[in-house]
Amino acid sequence: MSDPAPTCTAGMPWQDRSRPAEARSLPVRACVRAMRAYEPPLEERTGIRLDFNENTRGCSPTVLAAIRSMDGRDIAQYPSYRALLTTISRTHGLDIASVLLTNGADDALRVIMDACVSAGDTILLLSPSFSVYQTYASLREAVVRWVPYEDSFAFPFTSLQDALRSQSPRLCIIANPNNPTGTTITPQALLGLTAANPATLFIIDEAYADFSGQTCLSLPRPENMFIIRSLSKSYGLAGLRLGFLVAAPAIATQLRKAASPYAVNVMAVKAGIAALEDRQYLRSSVKEVIENRSWLRAQLGVRGIHSYPSEANFLLVSNSAIGRRRVSDILSSRGIRTRRFPELGCIRVTIGTAQECEMICLALDGRDSRGAPDAGTLLFDLDGTLIDISASYWEAIRQTVTQFTGRIVSDDEITVYKSKGGMNNEWDLTQTILSNSWTDATRRITRTPPSRETIIAAFQQAYWDDGRGLILQEKLLAPIALLSSLRTYFRLGLVTGRPRRETSFTLRRFGIQELFSTIICMEECARQKPDPCGLRQAMSATPGPWRYIGDCVDDMRAAARAGIPCIGITTATRAQALRFAGAAATYPSVIALGKDLMELVELRQCRTPLPSYPPATRPASKRTARGSTP
């Protein structure tokens, strides 16, 4: 058993020590101020998403049909829960009075904690396990005690028994299977623990139970056991937030007092009924995960990568080094997202479709999606290379200079400044032109030269204007079809001096954001091109060899300092200036370059078959017939 843990206000691993001193005056409880916030992804997660244990196959087609059948009146009404409760009770053989609908499994935890845990109560948690358990315990100002999993991540049954006897906790939470280890304990053993400790309440989190085939729902349940279920994983309804908890009917009646009366929305109700009734889809989805899990674990093993036995829809994988790079970095460079657990030296990999599992193996083997040796990474500049900025950035420069000086700036003048270097940032370029334009005549318009902050504000008003400005005049210089073809052979990355907000806006507008494995923006680097900071960050996240494609002198110089070849695009700078700055070659457009690259790579691409590994545990046709989540 681990040493007793302190209360939620003293030195817990989730305590946020970086908060400013003035936070102490905020009108929130001390335990909330001490917590580290759980930070879900706020931006769109591109690539192959194997980081949040979602069902990458998607939900049942009957769920989509049920949602499409809804009309405006359905949305306008408060939800009715009788039909969904009846479906749940019939599916699992439950007394309808024992079932409480919740807004996902997280909401079920909150309801139980609010109803049953008081400040100072002891809660027993296993480590490692789902971090939200600790979050809700701290909100109740409970005292948390820890029981660590064994070194092999086997369930610590003896240590847990000892802790239950010595600590007499108010509540014990057990995930079965456990997240992130995939470990299970038999339902009979859980019933034995609850019977031996009648004064302790037990929450059995069965979010992943469909993948293990073990559940406490089918057994007689004592009054001190709560069971939590989720429709996010096996049913593929994570985006709708639907779960339920099961308790003794008398206790469920009391729990409803602590629950929101309309925690589950009407769309989730419709989808939940359809999902539960499509038992065939559930069986096939679970079967596919189990087969893919077994296959992927075997494939990792023959590559010398250790993974732990799992009964869930994920594997906990050792984040070992292959050559000079760790498994997580190799997968990330291919756009494969995983969840990192640095304290365990592991990553958690969601079991996706058959093709997604094969993409993992291809990435680890250094091969592309066709099984051929990887051609490396193409790193692109954005402005002037992939995006025509003559009517946006350049026009914003002209308008800003005219606003403060009254004179007109020509395209040729901007080109001359760009060719000199040191002018990769349009704010710097605008300020330089203004400084060089300041004469007695301009002083009649503005008595003193504008500050940098004033220049930037005027520039952004013209260019950005909350997404309504000149940014809408930009055009894509590289057809999506060409970029998609290049991505077949190369990893694609982006290194730009734009702010991330404007970069994301533009990439989404043209529908090309998902084509790039890594995107480095202004915020990621304290120093901009010609400093190689951004390029080096992109290189650390992608496989070599690397080539950088840019349109200005600073791009060429940054690539030279990063030690990689650079190809110049002559949209903004003369070819001679680019070659003098270090360009290995110049092209009039990305289209012309792309055609040459495609011809070259198709001529040289090796068609060597994949290494001979042990056969998969599922038929080969299944491994190649299904699609992949982009």
Q: Read off the CATH number of the domain in which 319 is found.
A: 3.90.1150.10
Q: Identify whether 53 is part of a domain.
A: no
Tell if the pTM clears 0.75, that is, is over it: no
The segment with the largest mean pLDDT, out of 49-58, 393-402, 588-597, is 49-58
121 and 267, same domain (yes or no) = yes
pLDDT above 90 as % of the chain: 62
Query: Which of 270-293 are b and which e, b meaning 16 or more Cβ less than 10 Å from the residue's Cβ?
Result: bbbbbbbbbeebbeebbebbbbbb
Please say if the pLDDT value at position 614 is more than 60.
Answer: no
Res 446: pLDDT: 55
Q: Are residues 228 and 338 in the same domain?
A: no
Which residue is listed with tokens 């691993």? 13
Please determine, for residue 240, whether its predicted confidence score (pLDDT) is greater than 90: yes
pLDDT the model gives residue 31: 85
Q: What is the 3-state secondary structure (H, E, C) of 145-165?
A: EEEECCCCCCCCHHHHHHHHH
| Residue 493 within a domain | yes
Residue ending a domain, choose from 277, 301, 333: 277
Condensed to tens digits (0 to 9), the pLDDT of residues 118-137 reads 999 999 999 999 999 999 99
* Rounded average pLDDT over 302-323: 93
Q: Which two tokens stand for residue 575?
A: 């070819």
Same domain, 111 and 251: yes
Q: Do residues 113 and 169 share a domain?
A: yes
Q: Is residue 612 part of a domain?
A: no
The two tokens of residue 625 are 């017939």
> Does the pLDDT value for residue 11 go beyond 60?
no
Judging by DSSP bridges, how do beta strands 122-127 and 143-148 pair with one another? parallel
Q: Are 171 and 200 in contact (CB under 8 A)?
A: yes
Quote the CA–CA distance of 578 and 386 in Å, as a whole number: 17
| pLDDT above 60 for 6 | no
425's tokens: 């940032």
Q: Are residues 172 and 153 in the same domain?
A: yes
Q: Quickly state the pLDDT bin for 430 (edges 50, 70, 90).
A: confident
Domain region containing 553:
377-385+475-603
Averaged pLDDT, 310-327 = 90
Q: Which of 30-39, 103-112, 558-567, 601-610 shows the lowest mean pLDDT across its residues?
A: 601-610
Which pLDDT value is given to residue 242?
98
Q: Could you tell me the two tokens for 47?
A: 């690539």
Mean pLDDT value across the chain: 86
Strands 585-587 and 566-569: parallel
pLDDT in tens, 246-281: 999 999 999 999 999 999 999 999 999 999 999 999
- Out of 253, 277, 301, a domain closes at 277
CATH number at residue 492: 3.40.50.1000
Number of compact structural domains in the chain: 4
Q: Which helix (H) or strand (E) holds 205?
A: strand 201-205
**pLDDT at residue 45, rounded to an integer:** 64
Q: How confident is the model at residue 372, as a pLDDT?
A: 60
Contact 215, 206 (CB under 8 A): yes
**Cα angle 201-192-160, degrees, rounded to a multiple of 5:** 65
Q: For residue 56, is it within any domain?
A: no
In a domain, 258, yes or no: yes
Q: Which amino acid is at 376?
A: G
Q: What is the mean pLDDT of residues 411-429?
A: 76
pLDDT tens digits, one per residue of 552-581: 899 999 999 999 999 999 987 788 889 999
The confidence score (pLDDT) of residue 613 equals 35
Task: Name the amino acid, one letter, at 232.
Answer: S
126 and 244, same domain (yes or no): yes
pLDDT value, residue 211: 98
Please, which pLDDT band fits residue 43 given cuts at 50, 70 and 90?
low
Q: What is the pLDDT of residue 421?
A: 66
What is residue 55's predicted lDDT score, i.e. its pLDDT?
Answer: 96
Q: Note whether 137 and 221 are same-domain residues.
A: yes
Give me the mean pLDDT over the 15-23 stretch: 46
Same-domain pairing of 343 and 397: no
pLDDT number for residue 225 = 98
State mean pLDDT over 330-357: 92
pLDDT score of 32: 86
Same domain, 300 and 443: no
Same domain, 482 and 460: no
Type of residue at 541: A
Q: Is residue 266 part of a domain?
A: yes
Q: Kindly state whether residues 213 and 306 are assigned to the same domain.
A: no
513 occurs within a structural domain: yes
In a domain, 15, yes or no: no
Residues 335 and 414 in one domain: no
- Pairing mode of beta strands 491-495, 475-476: unpaired
Query: 133-142, 444-453, 567-576: which range is least confident on average?
Result: 444-453
Alpha-carbon distance of 153 to 40, in angstroms, equals 26
Is the pLDDT at 527 greater than 90? The verdict is no
Which residue's entry shows tokens 């000892």?
162
Phi/psi at 279 (5° precision): -65, -30
* Domain closes at, from 442, 473, 504: 473
Mean pLDDT along residues 131-159? 94
Taking 70 as the threshold, does the pLDDT of residue 290 lie above it? yes
